[in-house]
Copies of this chain bind each other. A is one copy, B any other.
């Protein structure tokens, strides 16, 4: 055969098969099925990509400044106005980390234009096991992003509409389900849906900060906000280095989501890397500006975090005032915040399935995660994330306060590994400009490494301990999984070629299992004779002596006796075990290929199946353990055998044609 002949042929279509009901429902929910050649078209332009990949990072400005203030004010007792003077320096320190990260990730995208998340970079430069650590840490954070963002969004919702509070868990789960379905439909469409809230939030923030800046320069200046809860602010206090580091760790959550773009480079329209780097810088600039702006407002207006009103809400309220127009702007700010918080979860849905598929392609996660679904997205990964994200929501009853401390440690672990990998790459490859690259990524690695340690230390008792146990345990499990896959691969592929041309076994024995003499067994006998084996016999397991006797009499009377029927006592009624015994004997010596024919009646009404026991299936299952025992189901179709799955006319044709055969002498295999 010429290799040219081995080109794929288009599927033949001489018969038009009707669609199954399941497929029709799926197509209605998810949109029409996509074929592989449509894959390349599923790309994002920069504005949509910014909305898809930046919602996680940008939305964290909604709580990052507040988290820092809470640590400064509550974590160390009332240290008073000193807290407000520390807020801006700490914010600036975090923005400095952000700048380093943005420059580092620009390097990464340049070096890995096809797919440059922490996993690939770490694997490429530090090896597979560190890559598992980076990947698992990031996957954990993606799961938490879903839980935290959706819970925070629902909290914003029930703060406005208190009636929602008792239903916060179902509402959060419903949000997850909606985002999940959106993503199953395909990333481009979900981008369109999710672009709006991201841009609304950006507008809301810049409007608020801009108004603040304008008022402070040209207006009557910004006044202190009266604390919502009555607290006594002291004029003095001691700022220890520990407190500052603790506050810094609390603000680390602002950085989650920064890696999203580098992980999702292939989703950009070409030239992917260029577009991705531009989008990354835009995102960094937006995030930094908004973060500093919000911290500046909070510091200038001395906003004290409270249980009833977020810092952001207090700032908006103070700036827009109590006029009707001001109230509308306040509500707009709150709504935009709620929407982006809920939809930040979407970043995880864009990245988690892709990252999981990388793990799976390297055989560190189940292969099913590499499968593209109905709409060419990694459906299994999307569904897995929805389930994994729902679990913390249920456990912590959608309570953000309990979820936050688990957060950020994972993402900084992966930052560190990824930047260290990049630094190593510069040293190894020594490409043009490697010194600058090494400086950027080396600085990135050291910075993020220090931040990881700081977060791990200060958030340990709050919940980071769980992640610090979970990640290594998961890595061990994934490595075990990998060994299972690798062993299997080695065994399956060793000398496969030789095995494919091994001679056939000396004997071929065909055994027909006969329960009674009916058309179904008759079909199996007819098929058995097609196989021309060395040995052919029918076996009946006698659970009821009368039935066995009747069968034997019929067999002789009908002249079937040329096909030997063996009746085996089965007084313990364990037919499966009896069959196993017989077949285990038959394959003994490894010179015989045994084909076990099981007549199987196929019903076209599903409830008819329940009227019969499933001996055939349990026999097949048991025989699966015996080498060279090849189980064949010989179907006999009862009634009008038209499932939704098969065109009626094929079946009808076949049956009609079969039944007009005349009675000829029994075949070669029986005559010999």
Contacts and interface: CB of A to CB of B under 8 A. Distances in A.
A580 interface: yes
Contacts of A178: none
Contact of A499 (B9, B526, B635): B526
A53 to B, nearest CB: 26
A382 to B, nearest CB: 16
A185 to B, nearest CB: 16
A11 B645 contact: no
Interface stretch (A186-194, A216-224, A464-472, A503-511): A503-511
A525 B501 CA distance: 8
A627 B643 CA distance: 12
Contacts of A667: 503-504
A370 to B, nearest CB: 10
Contact of A11 (B372, B503, B573, B581): B581
A583 to B, nearest CB: 10
Contact of A585 (B10, B12, B519, B565): B12
A503 B11 CA distance: 33
A651 B627 contact: yes
Interface string A477-516: 0000100110110011111111111111100100000000
- Name the interface size band of chain A: 35 or more
Nearest to A657: B590
A521 interface: yes
Interface in A534-561: 542-543, 545, 548, 552-556, 558-561
Contacts of A561: 1
Interface stretch (A123-131, A308-316, A348-356, A593-601): A593-601
Given A525-B500, A560-B500, A613-B367, A655 B633 contact: no
B595 A632 contact: yes
Contacts of A556: 1, 3, 6
A453 interface: no
A441 to B, nearest CB: 32
A240 interface: no
A658 B503 contact: no
A493 to B, nearest CB: 5
A571 B491 contact: no
Nearest to A593: B530
A203 interface: no
A587 B654 CA distance: 8
A640 B561 CA distance: 41
Contacts of A14: 585, 588
Given A3-B552, A35-B571, A522-B496, A627 B655 contact: yes
Contacts of A651: 625-627
A666 B498 CA distance: 11
B641 A625 contact: yes
Copies of this polypeptide in the complex: 2
A10 B569 contact: yes
A526 B500 contact: yes
A565 B635 CA distance: 27
A6 B567 contact: yes
Interface stretch (A41-49, A160-168, A427-435, A604-612): A604-612
A529 interface: yes
B625 A602 contact: yes
B504 A492 contact: no
Interface string A563-586: 011111111111001101110110
B581 A15 contact: yes
Interface string A636-672: 1111010101110011011111100101111100000
A632 B635 contact: no
A527 interface: yes
A92 to B, nearest CB: 49
A518 interface: yes
A508 B530 contact: yes
A624 B613 contact: no
Contacts of A11: 568-570, 578, 581
A153 B380 CA distance: 52
Nearest to A590: B657
A371 to B, nearest CB: 7
Contacts of A590: 653-658
A634 interface: yes
Contact of A502 (B23, B371, B526): B526
A588 B36 contact: no
Nearest to A670: B501
A307 interface: no
A543 B37 CA distance: 11
A630 interface: yes
Contacts of A326: none
Contacts of A552: 3, 6-7
21 contacts: A6-B555, A6-B556, A7-B567, A9-B567, A10-B568, A17-B580, A372-B573, A484-B605, A491-B638, A502-B658, A502-B661, A503-B664, A504-B526, A505-B526, A588-B650, A590-B654, A590-B658, A625-B643, A627-B635, A628-B658, A631-B632
Given A496-B518, A628-B635, 19 more contacts: A1-B556, A1-B564, A3-B556, A8-B568, A10-B568, A11-B570, A33-B572, A35-B572, A36-B543, A366-B610, A488-B608, A493-B518, A496-B521, A502-B658, A505-B530, A584-B647, A584-B650, A626-B635, A626-B646
Interface of A: 1, 3, 6-15, 17, 23, 33, 35-37, 366-368, 371-373, 481, 484-485, 487-488, 491-505, 508, 517-523, 525-527, 529-532, 542-543, 545, 548, 552-556, 558-562, 564-574, 577-578, 580-582, 584-585, 587-591, 593, 595, 600-602, 605, 608, 610-613, 620, 622, 624-639, 641, 643, 645-647, 650-651, 653-658, 661, 663-667
The list of the 4 closest CB pairs from A to B, nearest first, reads A590-B657, A499-B522, A6-B552, A1-B561
